[in-house]
Amino acid sequence: MSKKTESKQAEAKDDILTTTAKAIGGAAGKIAALAGIAEPAPVPQKSSKPAKLQKKNNPHLPRKIKKAQKKAAAKALAQA
pLDDT tens profile 58-69 = 677 788 888 999
Distance (Å, whole) CA 74 – CA 79:
9
User: What backbone phi and psi angles, to 5 degrees, belong to 55?
Assistant: -75, 145
Strand ranges in 1-80 using DSSP code E only, listed in sequence order: none
- Asked if the model's pLDDT at residue 7 lies above 80, the reply is no
> Is the confidence at residue 77, as pLDDT, over 70?
yes
More confident residue, 22 or 14: 22
Name the DSSP letter for residue 37: S
Return the H-helix or E-strand segment holding 52: none
Mean pLDDT (the chain) is 77
| Averaged pLDDT for residues 20-42 | 77
